[in-house]
Structures are given as C-alpha cells and as structure tokens.
C-alpha cells in the first residue's frame, strides 16, 4: 500500500509541475512547442495547452488571466483558433492596472478585427480609457482604436480623439493624429471635423507630431474636396516653412540618417505638396522656390538624399511647375542614370517615361545615356530603357536611334533579341519616311535577328516590296547577298526565297540598279543554288520548305534552262515526311512534266498586293487581339499545368473547350496556333494550320490561282467532293495526284466515299478519271503511322497498334517533334474524345522538346471505341508549352485514323 500511495503522490506532483498546466509560463510553452518534431506533436501540445486555458477561464482565475492571454496570442500566431478567449480580452481591458490593460489591448488587436460582434462591447472601455488621467493608458486606447476601429466606433469615439489632438502631451497628440487617419478612412464624412486640427498641428516643433499631422492632411485631401481646398488655403505656407527649416537645420542626432536631416519628414512634406499643387497654379508657384532649393542642396551621394531627390522630382512633375524647374528635375533623373546602383537607375527610367508627356525635349537631352542603359547587364534596366527609347523616337531622330539599336542588335544577348527586334521593327514601320530606308533597315534586322522577327512583320515587308516596283531589283539583290551571309535566319530565308521566286530575272540581269549600287554577277544556276541550299538547310520547317518549292517552281518558268534541275530538286521531296512538302512536290513535278503549255501563265508574277487594305486589316486584327487579351478570363493558377499522363477528367470544362460534348465525331479537322495573322497563311495557307489532317473546304473568295495550285491547303484540307454530305477521311500517297489536268471525263466521285488510300502511279484527277477506276476499290488494311498534327512549329505522329485480344482497343504511341530553333519547356499534351470512346494517357517521357528536331518526347495513349464499325475514331488534342518563358498553346483535331478502329 505504501508503494501505491507513493506512485499516486508522484503522479499528482507530475501533474502539478506539468509543462501543460494553466500556470505554465509563456517561455515554457514556446520551448515545448519548438521541441516538437512533427506537426502532430505540435497540435497535441497546443490542444492540451488550450484545454488548460479553458479550465482556467471556467474557474475564473484572475491571477493567470494575463499569462493565458499571452499564450493565446502566440497560439493564434501559429494559426490555431482562439475564439473561446475573446471575452478574456475585455476582462483584461476593464482591469485597473496598466500591465493587464496592455496585454488586453494587445490581445484585442491580434485576436479580433472590426467584423467581430464582440468588439461592440469594448466601446465603453475605450471611451473610459481615452479619458483616463494616465497618458500611457490613453496611448493604449488610441493605438487599439487606430488599428481595429469600425465605422460605428469611429462615430462614437471621434469627439474624444478630437479632444486628445489638443492635448499638451506630445505622444498623445501624435497617436491621436494617427488614430484620426483610421477614423477618416472609415467615415469620410467626419473629415471636416479634423481639418482645422490637422492644420494647427503643422505648427508643432516635434517631428513625430509633424509627420503624423502631414499624413492626416494627406488622408483628408483624399477623402474630401472641401478638405483639399481648405488645406490649400491654410497649409501651404506652413509646409514651405517646415521644408525650409528641415533643409537648413543643423546636425541633430535624433533625426539624422546618414548625414541627412529627417528624410522621412522631407518625403512626407513633398508628397503632400504634390497633392496640394496638382492642378493649382497659385499653390505651385508658391512652392517653386523651396522645391528648387531642395533639388539643388540635397546631397545625392547618400541613399537617403536620393530618396528625397526622387520625391522632389515627382512633386515637380506633378504640380504646375515652371519649365526651368522641370528641366532641373529631369536633369536629376539624368544623374540617376549614371549611378552605379541598379535600383536608382530603374526608378529613374520609370520616372523619365512619365516625364516625356510633360517635357519631351528635356528628356531628349539624355538620349545618349538612355541608349547606354539599353546595353546594361541588368535585364530589367535593359527592358525599361528600350521602352523609353521607343517613346523618344520621332521624325527627327529616328535614323540615328535606329542605327544605334541595330548596331547593338548584333551583340545583344539572345534572351533580349526578341524584345529589341520587335521594338526596332515597330520604329521602322511607324517612322519610315522613304521606302528605300525602310527596306534597308528591315534587311539588316532580318540578317541579324531573323529568327526573332514575327510573321506579320515579314508579311508587311512583302506587301511593301510588292508595291515598290522601282526597288524590286535592288531588294532581290540585297536579299540574295544577305542570304549568302546569314542563311540560318529563318525569316530572312522566307522573304529572300519569295523575292527570288518572284523577281529572279531582275537578280540575274541586274535590273533596276540604283545610284551607287555595286553590280553583282548572279547566274540562273546561282539563283537556283541559293533556293536549293535554303530548302536543304531548313527542311524541318514546313513553312520555309513550302516557300522554297514554290520559288523553285517559279524559277523553272523564269529560267527554262534550269527546268530539268528544278524538276530533280522538287522530286526529292516526293517521299518527304512532311505531308505538305510531299504533296507540293507531287503537284509541282506534274506541272513541270505534263503542263508545259500553261506553266508560264500559271506561274506569272504575283499581282500587286493592296497595301492600304492590308494595313487596315492588320490594324483591325491587332485591336481585336488587344481587346481579347484585355477581356479574356483569367486562367486559374495551374490551369494549363496538368501533369502528363492525367486521364480525361469527368468535369465539363475541357470537353466544352474542345467541343466534344456530342457523341458524333466531327468529320473534318481544323487547327490553330496562338500566332495571329500569320502572313504565310495568306501567301501559302500553311502558317498556322495543320497540314496533316482533313480540313474545311475552300471559300468562294479564294483566288483562282490558289485553287489551281492548291496553295493554302492540301487535298485533305480542301475536302472531298460532295461536302454537303458527311465524308470520311481519304489518305494521300506520294506520286499519286495531278490536280492540273482537264476535267473532261464524265466520271464522278460519290458524295460519300469509304475510307480509301490512293495508290501511287497513274492517277491524274485533272486528266480525267477512267471509268474503270474505282476509288473505293483502293482500300488497304494495313494501318501505318499517321501524322496527327503538324504546324510550322510542332509535328505529332501516331504509331497505331491494335490489341489482339480486344479489337476495340487501340494503343497509340505519340511522338512530339519540335520544328523550330527554340527549345520547348513545360510541354503538356492533353486529349479529349467523344463519349463513346474511352481514353487513357500514360506519363510522357519528358516535358522538354529539343529544338530543330534533335530528339523528341513520346507518350502512350490507349483508346477504346465502344461503337466500332458504327462511328469512326476521333480525338481533339491540345499542346501547351513555353518558348523563352512565353506561354504558347496549340490545338487541333485528329480524324484521319484508319478505318475500322
């Protein structure tokens, strides 16, 4: 029995001394929480401590109330609920002693906010404490009221705060002014009660009271127009006096910051001056002298001095200052640009961008320094300086500024070349005074950064070339020379081969020589060599390859002696993996071989493009893009960041986006990219549209030449005859189709064609269909790889495999190939199918697609067609990725699956 009693006594003693009893000190609880190794242990400690506090509250132990409140505040900061102890705050506030009140008010500010109903109960205690004879208790009440007061409390207690602003105690006046700011924000109607008091406080000598009063005046100006007018009449003189006294004051250790007298008061006064002087000429004139004094006397070698100067510049640019004072302010910003601190230079560039609207001529004087900032090592400064240079350009300085930017373009960082190129192209297009200068600058940009030039810029250049008949010879010679030196620049190659194809005879014969231009010797064979080299070098780019083939076809007509060689070059692409190039090769070979009589008229020079209508169309499209970006709904974080391998969700958004809510699979396919107004879509019809899947039929407005050449869409895109009925996909094979024969045969193709594969050898649709030839009799049961999607930037192939045990299930091995010179990062593939098809995606092999086809990313898919034989397999796909940190999105539809899947 003695042993049992001893155990019970030890246990009771342990409980009494436990670190979780209500008598635990705050430091002991913090030590116990920090000793926890897991979140579960921490929750257990907090739970037991809260239980002990609840017990103490229920037992009403006044001696431990302040200690419990201190622990509750710490628990609240850890994120745990403490609502059960709100009444304890009120009890501590109602206590007589200062220590209890201090903890109570601190708990009130931390644990409650103005939305808590229990806060209404503290109004009476606050009112009593605001009238307390002890200034420290009054300070506690003012501090609490300034932090959590609601509109109702502001109305009830504003008379006490007004009275305290007249107090003799400096600290009380300062806290009352700060509390008034909260009251004015909550109840703007009370602003008129504080106008005279705020103005009177500006006569104080104590800097703390002055800063509080100036901040109150600033808030009054924002809250009431009447207060703004009152302070303009009664406070300008006081503010000027304060600023002069602070600027001329001797060294005071209490307010000194790095040798600058009270920079915080400086800045507050300058901000209030800016508000009062904005739009008021009289007030601004009264401030001019003191602002000039601050701008000239402040030491710019100290960071505190730079802060004052920056605020002074903002004030000068914000009020109705004189022109001389504005020049002084902009010169200060010019000195900032020479500072070694990147932050100072950045804020100076930002301020100069706003100063251009006020005094552009003064900013122009610092153009050289701004241009140096464009070459800065810091990316943020480079970008901001480039935007400022763009704003500085006008008709008088466009040529020297453009020359400086183009010279820097050759040595600029690759990451910066995109922005720099875009700005240069915009400047040249906007301020070009003559076509020759415009063409020269664009040729330089294409040569130095052709891979960064956007398609719409190239299209605009081609439109200008088409209309500048007197400069076409000069242009084709300049582009030919640039092509020899900079053949790796994609946009340069496209524009150059287009010009060589259109104006090749001018290149060979030196037509249209300008004064001072050197003659070059180019043979017909040299022109073909240039296009052939471009075709071989850019074989992975379907757009460039297609343009090269068109240029070769036109050269075969311009230069009959090269016809046989062009035929051989074109024929090499009959088995090209890119379907667009394969189809063009077949059609162009047929033109060269079989249609000599119409070739010259068919391949005449392109008609002059309507420059005015193009500019209107481009401006309209640009405005539409800006409006769409402005009003586009914000994508939720991670909206496009689904990991590869995620199966099709059951929720509606993706299905709605891909328009697959119907069970019926669409018969045609269209794709789109994020690049608007692709000029190649106008010239060749392949810029932003996938050439690997069946598309929509050509519109009635399509040019007849484009119909004859099938430029802009492959036969699969133009659709099969009889588009009025539902058509099933037809698969094309090299060397199969000649679209330029005569349609003399009366043989017709049925409106609804079964899935077929046109065999090679011997079928010329325009030479007439033999009556013995049956389209439906050319079926092939083998399912090879298909090109599911192809654009100018991305190619996707599907390797299909039927599961032997389950004929409805098909395994797909998808391969993603990057056709551009930029690496794709964060690559995500998504797919959606109709309801009668089940889809499963496996994780991808990676999320980075190497550039130029040097490697690929693969991903497995499994689809089960529950209505096999009744409805064909169809799928919509979407690919999102990043190029140099910029989000890109492409999507399309795959419906060229072999029959029977």
Look at residue 111 and tell me whether its pLDDT is greater than 60: yes
Per-residue pLDDT tens digits for 748-757 = 333 333 333 3
Pick from 138-152, 677-691, 880-894: least confident: 677-691
- Top pLDDT among 641 and 474 is at 474
Q: How many residues are listed for the chain in this entry?
A: 901
pTM over 0.85: no
> What are the helix (H) ranges across 432-471?
435-449, 455-467
Cα-Cα-Cα-Cα torsion 851, 856, 857, 858, nearest 10 degrees, comes to 160
Per-residue pLDDT tens digits for 35-83 = 999 999 999 999 998 998 888 888 877 777 888 888 888 999 999 988 8
Give CA angle at 45 (42, 51), nearest 5°. 140
Whole-angstrom distance, CA of residue 248 vs CA of residue 266: 12
Mean pLDDT value across residues 666-673:
38
Name the band, by pLDDT with cuts 50, 70 and 90, for residue 782: very low
Give me the residue label for tokens 């909206």.
Answer: 639
Q: What percent of the chain has pLDDT over 70?
A: 79
Look at residue 226 and tell me whether its pLDDT is greater than 60: yes
Give me the residue label for tokens 């809510």.
Answer: 661
Going by C-alpha positions, the residue among 622, 612, 671, 620 that lies closest to residue 793 is 671
Contact criterion met (CB below 8 Å) for 686 and 716:
no
For residue 550, give Cα distances in angstroms to 491, 541, 795: 16, 14, 22
Q: Which pLDDT score, from 0 to 100, does residue 117 have?
A: 74
Whole-angstrom distance, CA of residue 463 vs CA of residue 476: 14
Look at residue 901 and tell me whether its pLDDT is greater than 90: no
Helix/strand/coil (H, E, C) string of 755-779?
A: CEECCCCCCCCCCCCCCCCCHHHCC
Whole-angstrom distance, CA of residue 739 vs CA of residue 708: 7
Look at residue 394 and tell me whether its pLDDT is greater than 70: yes
Give me the residue label for tokens 């090679």.
Answer: 760
Average per-residue pLDDT for the chain: 78
| DSSP element (H, E) containing 889 | strand 886-894
Contact criterion met (CB below 8 Å) for 679 and 544:
no
Mean pLDDT value across residues 574-579:
86
Exposed / middle / buried, residue 440 (Cβ in 10 Å: 0-12, 13-18, 19+)? middle
Contact criterion met (CB below 8 Å) for 819 and 792:
yes
Which of 202-206, 518-522, 590-594, 648-652: highest mean pLDDT? 202-206
Q: What is the CA radius of gyration of the chain?
A: 39
Going by C-alpha positions, the residue among 421, 428, 509, 424 that lies closest to residue 472 is 509
Mean pLDDT value across residues 400-416:
88
Name the band, by pLDDT with cuts 50, 70 and 90, for residue 854: confident
Whole-angstrom distance, CA of residue 213 vs CA of residue 219: 10
Per-residue pLDDT tens digits for 720-747 = 333 333 333 333 333 333 433 333 333 3
Per-residue pLDDT tens digits for 457-516 = 899 899 999 888 899 999 999 999 999 998 888 889 999 999 999 998 888 888 888 888
Look at residue 321 and tell me whether its pLDDT is greater than 60: yes
Residue 853 Ramachandran class (φ > 0 left, ψ -120 to 50 alpha, else beta)? left
Q: What is the DSSP letter of 115?
A: T
Going by C-alpha positions, the residue among 487, 541, 795 that lies closest to residue 684 is 541
SS3 622: helix
Q: Which pLDDT score, from 0 to 100, does residue 667 have?
A: 36
Q: Which pLDDT score, from 0 to 100, does residue 894 have?
A: 86
Cα 866 to chain centroid, rounded: 42
Q: Which pLDDT score, from 0 to 100, does residue 622 have?
A: 64
Mean pLDDT value across residues 183-187:
93
Q: Which two tokens stand for residue 254?
A: 């209490």
- Top pLDDT among 706 and 246 is at 246
Look at residue 239 and tell me whether its pLDDT is greater than 80: yes
Pick from 586-590, 652-656, 791-795: least confident: 652-656
Give CA angle at 583 (580, 589), nearest 5°. 135
Q: Which pLDDT score, from 0 to 100, does residue 744 have?
A: 36
Going by C-alpha positions, the residue among 401, 734, 457 that lies closest to residue 576 is 734
Look at residue 131 and tell me whether its pLDDT is greater than 70: yes
Look at residue 280 and tell me whether its pLDDT is greater than 70: yes
Exposed / middle / buried, residue 481 (Cβ in 10 Å: 0-12, 13-18, 19+)? middle
Name the band, by pLDDT with cuts 50, 70 and 90, for residue 775: very low
Q: Which pLDDT score, from 0 to 100, does residue 488 have?
A: 87
| DSSP element (H, E) containing 809 | strand 809-818
Q: Which pLDDT score, from 0 to 100, does residue 628 have?
A: 53
Q: Which pLDDT score, from 0 to 100, does residue 623 have?
A: 63
Cα-Cα-Cα-Cα torsion 385, 387, 389, 394, nearest 10 degrees, comes to -170
Look at residue 138 and tell me whether its pLDDT is greater than 60: yes
Q: Which pLDDT score, from 0 to 100, does residue 772 have?
A: 35
Name the band, by pLDDT with cuts 50, 70 and 90, for residue 184: very high
Name the band, by pLDDT with cuts 50, 70 and 90, for residue 221: very high
Name the band, by pLDDT with cuts 50, 70 and 90, for residue 666: very low
Task: Give me the residues paired with residue 800 across strands.
Answer: 812
Q: What percent of the chain has pLDDT over 90?
A: 31
SS3 169: coil
Contact criterion met (CB below 8 Å) for 233 and 197:
no
Question: For residue 454, what are the contacts with CB-CB under 8 A and spacing of at least 6?
Answer: 422, 425, 675
Q: Which pLDDT score, from 0 to 100, does residue 729 have?
A: 38
SS3 478: helix
Contact criterion met (CB below 8 Å) for 830 and 877:
yes
């Amino acid at each position: 029995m003695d042993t049992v009693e001893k155990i019970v006594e030890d246990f009771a003693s342990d409980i009494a001394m436990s670190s979780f009893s209500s008598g635990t000190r705050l430091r002991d609880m913090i030590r116990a929480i920090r000793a926890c190794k897991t979140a579960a242990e921490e929750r257990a400690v907090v739970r037991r401590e809260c239980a002990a506090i609840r017990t103490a509250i229920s037992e009403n132990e006044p001696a431990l109330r302040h200690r419990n409140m201190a622990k509750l505040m710490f628990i609240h900061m850890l994120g745990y609920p403490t609502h059960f102890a709100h009444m304890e705050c009120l009890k501590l506030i109602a206590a007589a002693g200062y220590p209890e009140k201090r903890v109570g008010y601190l708990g009130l500010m931390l644990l409650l906010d103005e939305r808590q109903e229990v806060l209404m109960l503290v109004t009476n205690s606050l009112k009593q404490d605001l009238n307390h004879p002890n200034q420290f208790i009054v300070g506690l009440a003012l501090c609490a009221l300034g932090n959590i007061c609601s509109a109702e409390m502001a109305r009830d207690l504003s008379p006490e705060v007004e009275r305290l602003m007249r107090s003799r105690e400096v600290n009380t006046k300062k806290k009352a002014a700060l509390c008034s700011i909260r009251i004015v924000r909550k109840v703007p109607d009370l602003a008129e009660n504080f106008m005279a008091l705020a103005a009177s406080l500006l006569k104080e000598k104590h800097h703390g009271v002055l800063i509080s009063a100036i901040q109150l005046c600033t808030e009054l100006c924002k809250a009431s127009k009447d207060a703004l007018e009152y302070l303009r009449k009664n406070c300008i003189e006081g503010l000027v006096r304060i600023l002069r006294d602070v600027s001329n004051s001797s060294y005071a250790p209490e307010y000194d910051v790095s040798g600058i007298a009270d920079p915080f008061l400086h800045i507050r006064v300058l901000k209030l001056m800016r508000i009062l002087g904005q739009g008021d000429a009289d007030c601004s004139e009264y401030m001019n002298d003191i602002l000039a004094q601050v701008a000239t006397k402040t030491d710019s070698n100290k960071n505190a001095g730079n802060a004052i100067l920056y605020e002074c510049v903002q004030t000068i640019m914000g009020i109705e200052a004189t022109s001389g004072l504005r020049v002084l302010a902009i010169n200060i910003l010019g000195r900032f640009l020479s500072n070694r601190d990147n932050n100072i230079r950045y804020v100076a560039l930002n301020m100069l961008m706003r100063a251009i609207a006020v005094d552009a001529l003064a900013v122009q004087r610092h153009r050289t320094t701004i241009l140096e900032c464009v070459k800065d090592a810091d990316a943020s400064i480079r970008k901001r300086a480039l935007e400022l240079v763009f704003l500085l350009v006008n008709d008088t300085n466009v040529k020297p500024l453009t020359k400086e930017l183009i010279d820097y373009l050759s040595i600029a960082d690759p990451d910066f070349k995109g922005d720099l190129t875009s700005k240069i192209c915009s400047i040249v297009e906007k301020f070009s005074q003559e076509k020759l200068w415009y063409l020269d600058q664009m040729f330089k940009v294409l040569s130095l950064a052709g891979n960064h030039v956007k398609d719409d810029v190239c299209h605009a250049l081609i439109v200008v070339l088409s209309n500048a008949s007197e400069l076409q010879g000069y242009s084709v010679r300049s582009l030919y020379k640039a092509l020899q030196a900079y053949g790796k620049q994609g946009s340069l190659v496209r524009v150059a081969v287009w010009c060589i194809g259109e104006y090749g005879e001018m290149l060979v014969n030196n037509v249209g020589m300008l004064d001072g231009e050197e003659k070059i010797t180019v043979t017909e064979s040299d022109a073909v060599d240039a296009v052939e080299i471009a075709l071989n070098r850019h074989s992975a780019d379907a757009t460039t390859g297609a343009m090269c083939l068109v240029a070769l076809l036109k050269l075969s007509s311009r230069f009959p002696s090269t016809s046989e060689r062009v035929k051989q070059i074109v024929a090499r692409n009959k088995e090209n993996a890119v379907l667009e190039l394969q189809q063009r090769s077949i059609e162009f070979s047929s033109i060269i071989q079989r249609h000599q009589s119409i070739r010259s008229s068919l391949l005449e020079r392109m008609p002059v493009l309507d420059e005015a209508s193009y500019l209107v169309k481009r401006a309209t499209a640009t405005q539409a893009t800006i409006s769409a970006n402005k009003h586009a709904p914000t994508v939720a974080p991670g909206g496009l960041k689904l990991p590869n391998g995620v199966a099709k969700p059951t929720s509606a958004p993706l299905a709605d986006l891909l328009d697959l809510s119907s069970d019926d699979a669409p018969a045609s396919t269209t794709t789109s990219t994020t690049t608007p107004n692709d000029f190649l879509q106008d010239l060749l019809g392949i810029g932003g549209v996938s050439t690997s899947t069946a598309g929509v039929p050509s519109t009635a407005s399509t040019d007849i030449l484009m119909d004859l050449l099938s430029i802009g869409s492959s036969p699969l895109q133009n659709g099969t005859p009889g588009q009025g009925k539902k058509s099933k996909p037809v698969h094309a094979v090299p060397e199969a189709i000649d679209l330029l024969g005569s349609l003399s045969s009366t043989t017709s193709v049925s409106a609804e064609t079964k899935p077929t594969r046109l065999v090679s050898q011997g079928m010329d649709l325009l030479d007439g269909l033999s009556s013995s030839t049956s389209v439906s009799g050319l079926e092939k049961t083998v399912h090879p790889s298909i090109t599911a999607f192809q654009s100018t930037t991305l190619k996707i192939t599907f390797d299909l495999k039927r599961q032997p045990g389950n004929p409805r299930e098909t395994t797909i091995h998808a391969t993603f190939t990057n056709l551009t010179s930029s690496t794709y990062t964060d690559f995500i593939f998504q797919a959606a199918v109709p309801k009668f098809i089940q889809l499963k995606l496996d994780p991808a092999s990676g999320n980075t697609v190497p550039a130029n086809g040097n490697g690929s990313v693969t991903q497995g898919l499994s689809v089960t067609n529950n209505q096999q034989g009744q409805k064909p397999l169809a799928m919509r796909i979407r690919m999102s990725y990043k190029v140099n940190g910029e989000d890109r999105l492409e999507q399309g539809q795959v419906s060229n699956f072999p029959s029977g899947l």
